[in-house]
Structure 1
């Protein structure tokens, strides 16, 4: 449990750092979450490919670091905001890029 917790702390700090850069630059808030979740999916595929037999590495890096780094709750909050704002095209594109891109990048990470 400590391995996962320490990893999650590291992942959450990295996510906070990336999000704060986006806020300072005043870029679209969706891009920060999209970048974080897509890169997390790729890194999880990469980690799984190279460390599938190392349970400690999977627990620390996959469950911990990448679990703390990626954010499903923020993704859903942003989707709800887009629905509230009636930004249907952006919502659909965000869904497609997040899920489709996440699956594609995780697959790519598995193959590298």
Structure 2
């Protein structure tokens, strides 16, 4: 079993698109994602190491993983301050990151769940 802090994957930014003034969607690709696999958990997350020496690590939710084309998509909140927010705001194609394997904590029960809400 892989240690949670291990970073067996690397990826390159292939695109960085500002979705809102404080949200940037970054798509990662590259040969360093070979062997990467989804955990299948609805709250799938992984560690992203931003600095070249991997000293800046943050946990992010996977927005989408497409194994057919090897694309990993993560939405970053780019609030004021913080190393990860600044990195995401300035990310450009070709930038590289280290990545852990995917994991998650929530395992939905086998039986059906119904959720409801009210505007009131």
TM-score, normalization by structure 1:
0.22
More strand by share: 2
Higher relative contact order (CA 8 A, sep 6+): 1
| Rg larger for | 2
More helix by share: 1
TM-score, normalization by structure 2:
0.21
